[in-house]
């Protein structure tokens, strides 16, 4: 028989409710249901309903108490297509909670609510929970930046790193799609009349793979990547391809590198006579530099020791979050304050339930420390 503390039992009840309400990023109907569920769970903890902001069909939730000094930031959308809950149902077995989105990042939302419920006053707190983070926050980026600008701190309850490590820096991200336009012709009867976009695609992929080495310095070795990913060309086996495309994923350690990569991507030129290039996309998230988190991380380490919690570590990661945006507008930001577990975006996504109360207590202490300044 499980013997949970009342605190943990409440956390798990709220987490079960959120996980069982699916919220695939591309399913606006599911997102609308999820927003209502998150709003109700938050209302029970915070005492008031949030403002619901729907932008291009995507619902975002915001609570503001007085003149805000600190922002709690998260997202309720997940990468899991609607219906995944039938294949990976909510469960808690041997101290491990599972289900789609449990780690990334529905447990983080529950921690926000329970951490805030422990405060004597919510004055000075803002909470923003967006619905499109997994897509790169196309509708919520301005909302995030406007909410965070000028605040003393943002705490992001994305999932923690290994063994709960806090995320003290993140690479910047750029996303591109390069379209190559050629001219179709019959591959057997008159191939000379075509302009082969597939051949030009091969030239461009090779050119793109050289960009990282042209930008990175010795101090950045291994920190900068420019990676062609999804690629396609043509419409049939006996037709010269008239169109080809390749997606490019860019990860950078600093803003200067991000801007230089963008310049070189826009300077690509065709090698095949008659072919033309069309570049779409650009920088998506600015780098989240460690300078943005250094003071908050030091405070978190001190508070964890005072609370008798396991020692904290910090880690820099390649993946982006909405913390990149808050750091980018100059707001001190600490990320990875969510659940301890693993398997984000994978079938073995899970949360260690016994670590949830301690993460809530740490978050409460961090918020109090900022509000007390």
Pull the structure tokens for residue 324: 């990149």
**C-alpha–C-alpha distance, residues 46 and 87, integer Å:** 33
Q: For residue 156, which of 332, 356, 370, 365 has the smallest C-alpha distance?
A: 332
Q: For residue 101, which of 218, 18, 168, 28 has the smallest C-alpha distance?
A: 18
Q: What pLDDT does residue 303 have?
A: 98
Alpha-carbon distance values, 18 to 1, 41, 172, 243, 356 (Å): 24, 8, 30, 43, 15
Q: What pLDDT, in 10s, does the model give residues 27-56?
A: 999 999 999 999 999 999 999 999 999 999
Return residue ranges of the chain for CATH 3.30.70.360: 172-285
pLDDT surpasses 90 at 214 = yes
Residue with tokens 């309903």: 49
State the number of CA atoms in the 13 A half-sphere of 162 facing the CB. Answer: 3
Catalytic residue among 14, 22, 77, 134: 77
Catalytic residue among 22, 27, 104, 133: 133
Q: How far from each other are the two terminal CA atoms of the chain, in whole angstroms?
A: 45
Span 180-189, average pLDDT = 97
What pTM was computed for the model? 0.91
Q: For residue 10, which of 364, 356, 308 has the smallest C-alpha distance?
A: 356
Q: How many residues does this entry show for the chain?
A: 373
Asked if residues 136 and 282 have their Cβ atoms less than 8 Å apart, the reply is no
The answer to whether 278 is a known catalytic residue is no
Q: What pLDDT does residue 131 have?
A: 98
Concatenated DSSP letters of 160-186:
PSGGG-EEEEE-EEEEEEEEEE-B--B
Percentages helix, strand, coil for the chain (3-state, rounded to 5) are 40, 25, 35
- Residues 26-46 as b/e (b if ≥16 CB within 10 A, e otherwise) read ebeebbbbbbebbbebbeebb
The answer to whether 254 is a known catalytic residue is no
Does residue 3 or residue 207 have the better pLDDT? 207
Q: For residue 223, which of 263, 264, 172, 267 has the smallest C-alpha distance?
A: 172
Strand partners, 281: 176
Pull the structure tokens for residue 162: 């290994």
The class of domain 6-171+288-371 in CATH terms is alpha beta
Confidence of residue 1 (pLDDT cuts 50, 70, 90): very low
CB count in 10 Å sphere of residue 9: 12
Q: What pLDDT, in 10s, does the model give residues 50-104?
A: 999 999 999 999 999 999 999 999 999 999 999 999 999 999 999 999 999 999 9
Q: For residue 38, which of 130, 120, 140, 141 has the smallest C-alpha distance?
A: 130
Q: What pLDDT does residue 218 have?
A: 58
Q: What pLDDT, in 10s, does the model give residues 149-172?
A: 999 999 999 999 999 999 999 999
Q: Is 227 helix (H, G, I), strand (E, B) or coil?
A: strand
**Among 1.20.1560.10, 3.30.70.360, 3.40.50.280, 3.40.190.10, what is the CATH number of 172-285?**
3.30.70.360
Mean pLDDT computed over every residue of the chain: 96
Return residue ranges of the chain for CATH 3.40.630.10: 6-171+288-371
**C-alpha–C-alpha distance, residues 205 and 253, integer Å:** 22
Give the gyration radius of the chain's Cα atoms. Answer: 23
């Amino acid at each position: 028989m499980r013997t949970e503390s009342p605190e943990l039992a409440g956390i798990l009840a709220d987490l079960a409710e959120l996980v069982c309400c699916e919220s695939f990023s591309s399913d606006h109907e599911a997102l609308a249901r999820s927003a209502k569920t998150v709003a109700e769970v938050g209302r029970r903890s915070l005492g008031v309903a949030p403002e619901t902001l729907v932008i291009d069909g995507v619902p975002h939730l915001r609570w503001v108490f007085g003149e805000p000094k600190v922002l709690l930031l998260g997202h309720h959308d997940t990468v899991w297509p609607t219906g995944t809950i039938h294949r990976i149902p909510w469960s808690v077995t041997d101290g491990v909670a599972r289900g789609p989105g449990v780690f990334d990042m529905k447990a983080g939302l529950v921690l926000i609510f329970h951490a805030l419920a422990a405060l004597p006053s919510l004055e000075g707190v803002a909470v923003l929970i967006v619905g499109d983070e997994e897509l790169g926050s196309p509708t919520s980026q301005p909302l995030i930046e406007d909410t965070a600008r000028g605040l003393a701190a943002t705490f992001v309850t994305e999932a923690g790193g290994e063994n709960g490590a806090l995320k003290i820096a993140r690479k910047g991200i750029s996303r591109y799609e390069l379209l190559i336009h050629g001219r179709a012709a019959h591959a057997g009867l008159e191939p000379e009349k075509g302009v082969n976009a597939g051949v030009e695609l091969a030239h461009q992929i090779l050119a793109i793979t050289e960009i990282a080495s042209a930008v990175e310095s010795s101090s950045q070795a291994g920190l900068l990547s420019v990676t062609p990913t999804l690629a396609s060309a043509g419409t049939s086996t006996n037709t010269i391809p008239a169109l080809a495309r390749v997606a490019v994923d860019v990860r950078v350690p600093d803003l200067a590198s991000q801007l230089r990569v963008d310049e070189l991507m826009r300077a690509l030129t065709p090698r095949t006579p008659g072919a033309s290039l069309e570049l779409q996309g650009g920088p998506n998230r600015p780098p989240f530099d460690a300078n943005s988190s250094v003071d908050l991380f030091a405070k978190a380490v001190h508070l964890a020791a005072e609370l008798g919690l396991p020692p904290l570590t910090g880690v820099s990661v390649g993946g982006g979050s909405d913390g990149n945006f808050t750091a980018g507008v100059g707001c001190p930001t600490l990320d990875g304050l969510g659940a301890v577990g693993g398997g984000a975006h994978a079938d073995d996504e899970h949360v260690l339930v016994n670590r949830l109360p301690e993460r809530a207590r740490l978050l409460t202490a961090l918020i109090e420390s900022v509000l007390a300044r």
